[in-house]
Amino acid sequence: MTEDKPAGRTIMTILAALLIFAGPTYAIYAMTTMLDLNYFLSMGIGFAIFAVGVVFLLFLVRKKIVS
């Protein structure tokens, strides 16, 4: 996906938002209930997903894909 395509920008922005908002909420819920993982392990993984989303969003802002 390149920066000059509006569809690519939209997909990257939606991906960043999903990582930021769904990672700490739905991913933790899914890991604890469906996969039966330890609560603290799923919280750590959820925080890692959140951190990846924030870093990805910062990348998009610095490349001026998202203003």
Each residue's pLDDT tens digit, 44-57: 999 999 999 999 99
pLDDT for 20: 94
CA angle 36, 49, 46 (to 5 degrees): 35
Each residue's pLDDT tens digit, 12-66: 999 999 999 998 899 999 999 999 999 999 999 999 999 999 999 999 999 888 8
> Containing H/E element for 44?
helix 39-62
Whether the model clears a pTM of 0.85, i.e. scores above it, the answer is: no
DSSP code per residue over 17-40 = HHHHHHIIIIIHHIIIIIS---HH
Residue 48: alpha-carbon gap to chain centroid: 9
